[in-house]
Structure 1
Amino acid sequence: MPVDRWKTIKGIFYALLITGLAVYSVYSDADPTAVFLSATIAMLVVFGVELREVELVRGITLTFGTQKHRPPDDQEDD
Structure 2
Amino acid sequence: MINKLFASTKPGITDDEYRAKIKYQVNFLTIVIILTVAITMLLASFKSHQLREVFYVDFHPVYLAGVSVP
- The normalised TM-score by structure 2 is 0.40
Return the structure number with greater helix share.
2
Return the structure number with greater strand share.
1
| Structure with larger Rg | 2
- The normalised TM-score by structure 1 is 0.36
